[in-house]
Amino acid sequence: MTAATSDEGAAVPVTIRDVARASGVHISTVSRTFSAPHLVNPETRVRVLACAEDLGYRPNRAARALITGRTHNIGLIIADIANPFFPPLIKAAESQARHRDYHVFVADTNEDPTAEEELVHALAKQVDGVLLCSPRMSNSLIEQLSREVPLVVVNRQVTGLPCVLMDVGQGARAAIEHLVGLGHTRIALLGGPRSSWTNREMRRAAATAARAGGAELTLLGPNAPTETGGSAVAEQVRRSGVSAVLAYNDLMAIGLIEGLDALGVRVPQEVSVVGVDDIALSRLTRPKLTTVATPTAAAGRTAVDMLLQQDTESPRGTRGLGAGTALGVRRTTAQVMLQTDLVIRDSTGPGPQARPARPLAASLGPDPHCPAGPGTATAATGDAVAS
């Protein structure tokens, strides 16, 4: 209703000055009306607010950020938005941020380390901090970038920086033990991206667990952490003669099952498959996927909390300090490890030892084993465990 809401197409930018003029006060009073209302007379306040509403005034967040050093934005950099692993993390981060009056900007790097670096630079001055999820760049580069903007790293351990980790080592161990318990003695590990911390952790833990269980572990990879990455190695899996596979993530596991199916190899009758992540999709495929559930939502929430905490500790561009902390004392660098849980569904079954003769196995019926019914194990609780 009125002046500025005329139907001109182009946006006429209305500033604090226009509001000041319209309501007959100084611009500083208008500013305070928005950023410190208790400091201004209630009468004046309503008048200013009315004028602002009338003119369609919105504080310019860029200008505000310039002087306060606070944008109230968080950057969220992820490797691949098409990977269903990330959306729950993103949503949890967003909701947590919203509670604290922050907004989240998501950016996708297409698994490209160069894009990662560039995006951190681009975001640096437009956000108060960046969440780096499953980064593909080097630790040293991450450390270097952390001097430009506060960083919280997810799914990667960087000394000196706050990290949110998921205990995929424990998950891989549980998966291998599950497979060994089913009678599998030759197991393959489908590796993910070479630069992935998760990948290394899984490999280490799986190797230890296999050795302890007396099973032989074959390493296949690195591979693209996608469905096609999984289906591409189906032939290799078949030739390798293993009876069970632990895949880097659910997407690869699903792709592998598809690929094996195309080769006439049946899951879980001939080969058992375990994934990691417990994405929504893993409950929709046939067979339903046995997988290591990772607490993605909890990770998103925790990461935001850590960033905002670190952020409020050093307000206003951190002018003063710096010299005092020269000798590596740095800021708080808590690292949080979240627990994972093995969810047993239908893609794993008895190994060669425990199995009857081959031809029979193929016609066992729709529900070949199911130790405790599909989807019994609960999703990860995501309890935080400081380390």
Residues binding a copy of itself (CB under 8 A) = 5-13, 56, 58, 60-63, 65-66, 71, 73, 81-82, 84, 87-88, 90-91, 94-95, 103-108, 110, 119, 121-122, 124-126, 144, 147-150, 160, 227, 254, 258, 280-281, 284-286, 314, 317-318, 321-323, 325-326, 328-331
- Residue 42: exposure state from Cβ atoms within 10 A (0-12, 13-18, ≥19): exposed
Neighbours of 131 (CB within 10 A): 28
16's contact among a copy of itself, DNA, none, with CB below 5 to 8 A by partner kind, is DNA
Residue 30 Cβ, how far from DNA at the closest point, in Å? 7
31's contact among DNA, a copy of itself, none, with CB below 5 to 8 A by partner kind, is DNA
Choice between 150 and 169, CB closer to a copy of itself: 150
Token pair 């239908």: residue = 346
106's contact among a copy of itself, DNA, none, with CB below 5 to 8 A by partner kind, is a copy of itself
Choice between 169 and 259, CB closer to a copy of itself: 259
Choice between 240 and 325, CB closer to a copy of itself: 325
User: Long-range contacts for 217-220 (Cβ within 8 Å, ≥24 apart)?
Assistant: 217/176, 217/187, 217/188, 217/189, 218/186, 218/187, 218/188, 218/189, 218/242, 219/188, 219/189, 219/191, 220/188, 220/189, 220/190, 220/191
**Which stretches of the chain bind DNA, using CB under 7 A?**
13, 15-17, 24-29, 31-32, 34-36, 38-44, 57-60, 63-64, 66-68, 317
φ, ψ (nearest 5 deg) of residue 322:
125, -65
CA–CA separation, 40 and 370 (whole Å): 68
207's contact among DNA, a copy of itself, none, with CB below 5 to 8 A by partner kind, is none
φ, ψ (nearest 5 deg) of residue 376:
-75, -55
Choice between 39 and 212, CB closer to DNA: 39
